[in-house]
Structure 1
Amino acid sequence: MRVTVIGGGSWGTAFSVVLRDRGHEVTLACRDPEHAAAIVESRCNPRYFPHIDLTGIAATTIEEAPITTANLAVVAVPSAAFGATVAMLPGRCPILSLTKGLDPVTGKRLSTLVTDRPVVVLSGPNIAEEITRGLPAAAVIAGVDHALAVQIQLAITSPTFRVYVNDDVVGVELCAAAKNVIALAAGGADGLGLGDNAKAALVARGLAEMSRFAEESGARPETFAGLAGMGDLIVTCWSKSGRNRRAGELIAQGATPDEARAQIGMVVEGLTTAPVLRDLSRSLEIEMPITEGVCSVLDGVPLTELVATLMQRDPTSE
């Protein structure tokens, strides 16, 4: 296939490597012309993966990328930029979304912002740095167009990147968004040194919270036991490379959210998603105490106060 990957960040770069290694013709489209030029000159991505050889992957700007002649456009931009990005894409080739989040303006799932062409989404426990090193990983593709999902599954599955198909696009997208908020809380537990028992309990209750929200939104319960749910939640909450976990850890150690963003140097989706998810849960009258707590911490409430509040809630059934 001829594939244009839109977004020259860590995940867009890693996925370009997956596509190249499967023999596809890949162009990596960057928002910044200087970034694209640096990739062309160095044959690596000096901002994110200076050690990964990108030979065989073309690089250019989004405006100059060969999107109209592509068989597939892969979108790997921050959630805040997703709507504007897909709206400007020329042609009518299908879209594969790698972005994990919700639209911060409307609260909608990102795939619903694509109205002029087929769209599927990919999610799962996919730490970009590990994938660039060829370490084994798995993912799930979901979409209304089952035939398209299967076509892309067959095109990208390899001995080191195994892809499953799931038709619960609502569940897959909501898991991808909500797990980043739980990861902020898990990082906070790490930053306070609360121990493995506390962190495991937090993650388990976070999964229950995600499930309540998504089921009310029309998702299937079994999605949360799979790659998009439990799988992605585990890796996001424990990986040292996880941006959201790291942001929560830094905030627990005294950094502001803006300082945490600056120190990490990459987009931290949970910081954008948390207030959107909170507002949606309130509108649906769904109890999400961890999400509410994360938002209160982002608004300045001490994390130690949040821990006390969560632990002292009225006893209930699991």
Structure 2
Amino acid sequence: MAGFQKRTVGIVGGGAWGLALAHLLAENGHTPLVWDRDPGRLSKLRRSHRDEDRLPGVSLNPKIRYVDEMGALKDAHFHVLVVKSAAVSEVLPRLKGEVSPKRLVSAVKGFVGETLRTVSQAVAEVLPDTTYAVLSGPSIALEVVKGVPTSVVVASSDDSFAREVQMTFSGPTFRVYRQDDVLGVELGGALKNIIAIASGISDGLGFGTNSKGALLTRGLYEMVRFGTALGARRDTFFGLAGMGDMITTSFSPNSRNRYVGEQLGRGRRIDEILGGMSMVAEGVRTAFIVRDKARELDVDVPITEAVCSIIEGKASPVEALRLLMTRPLKREFYT
């Protein structure tokens, strides 16, 4: 990236993914400023450059700067929103008041609130003059910090901004592609979490690769069917934000959503599982949002329906599988 000006980038959210992105930026010679609503957590990060709970066994680049006040991010070249989806509605008004970002990248993988409202929709309402992009793809945070080769995609209607984000984050172990299907990339990042839960359930039941191959293939087609009904482009779901992220999240031992599914497959209750986790599994909430919207649109999402029935305790994993396998026979590709 010779000749590319180094950037100061404001990271809103100091969870595992926010820290991984900050680490990447620092490794690339940029200046990442990380804000989190927990000042005690930031203080520990300043001292140790480690987060053993979320990123065990690795040290973060010491050039990351941690700021206690959100307003300290104000003069960054652009900002990255990396909070859990349930917190977006709370954070955006504060971001508007204290920072007023002109350009914002979302690295959130989920929906805002309890309905199918994307981050781009929420940003358009709260920050209508802000140029928006979304960064997504197969990217387990711990692997990124370890320098495991990773590729993701950035989508924006403003190609010059997408190109800037692409060049800022890309480096020897992290490659960013770009495109303009913002909705498709946002949906891919959210929908794959449901399939990852289903994949974990299969693992928890002790099923093999036949089952997982079928599940991921049908899961991808379910994502395509639902996403295109909302106006996203079909090809996006066969890219990094769709199939790529789905595969990684469904296989990784570090995937929170796959873990939730695995525990469900072993017979544990959802409240017990979530109560023992320090990080959020976005797919649990997402599954019900997608199920309700799919029913409204009359879109067939049998895997999502099965995941919801298991989470609700209305069907055991074995019973949900039986219902899936004994559905009326169909053509492989249908709408």
TM bucket by the smaller chain? over 0.9
Q: RMSD across aligned C-alpha pairs, in angstroms?
A: 1.3
* Aligned twin of 2:13: 7
* Partner SS state of residue 66, structure 1: helix
* Aligned twin of 2:156: 143
The question of whether the paired residues in 2 share the 8 Å contact of 1:39 and 1:46 is answered with no
* Partner SS state of residue 276, structure 2: helix
Counterparts of 1:1-318 in structure 2, within 5 Å, are 1-50=7-56, 51-61=58-68, 63-89=69-95, 90-115=99-124, 116=127, 117-300=130-313, 301-318=315-332
The question of whether the paired residues in 2 share the 8 Å contact of 1:67 and 1:91 is answered with no
**2-structure distance, mates of 1:283, 1:145:** 32
Q: Indicate the larger mover: 9-18 or 48-57.
A: 48-57
Tell me the number of residue pairs that the alignment of Structure 1 and Structure 2 aligns. 317
Query: How big is the shift at 1:135?
Result: 1.1
* Partner SS state of residue 9, structure 2: strand
Query: How big is the shift at 1:44?
Result: 2.0
Query: How big is the shift at 1:104?
Result: 2.9
CA offset digits 1:160-205 (Å, max 9, x no partner):
1100001111111111111000110000000001211011101110
Percent of pairs with identical residues: 40
The question of whether the paired residues in 2 share the 8 Å contact of 1:44 and 1:54 is answered with no
CA offset digits 1:41-84 (Å, max 9, x no partner):
212224322531330011133x3452211111111111111122
Query: How big is the shift at 1:255?
Result: 1.9
Query: How big is the shift at 1:13?
Result: 0.7
* Partner SS state of residue 114, structure 1: helix
TM-score (norm 2): 0.92
AA partner of residue 68 (structure 1): K
The question of whether the paired residues in 2 share the 8 Å contact of 1:37 and 1:60 is answered with no
TM-score (norm 1): 0.96
Q: Which sections of structure 2, spanning at least 5 residues, go unmatched? A: 1-6
The question of whether the paired residues in 1 share the 8 Å contact of 2:33 and 2:73 is answered with no
AA partner of residue 172 (structure 1): V
**1-structure distance, mates of 2:60, 2:101:** 31
CA offset digits 1:195-247 (Å, max 9, x no partner):
11011101110000000011111111111111111111100111111110011
* Partner SS state of residue 80, structure 2: strand
Query: How big is the shift at 1:99?
Result: 0.7
**1-structure distance, mates of 2:213, 2:26:** 37
Q: Which sections of structure 1, spanning at least 5 residues, go unmatched? A: none
Q: Which runs of 4+ in 1 moved over 6 A?
A: none
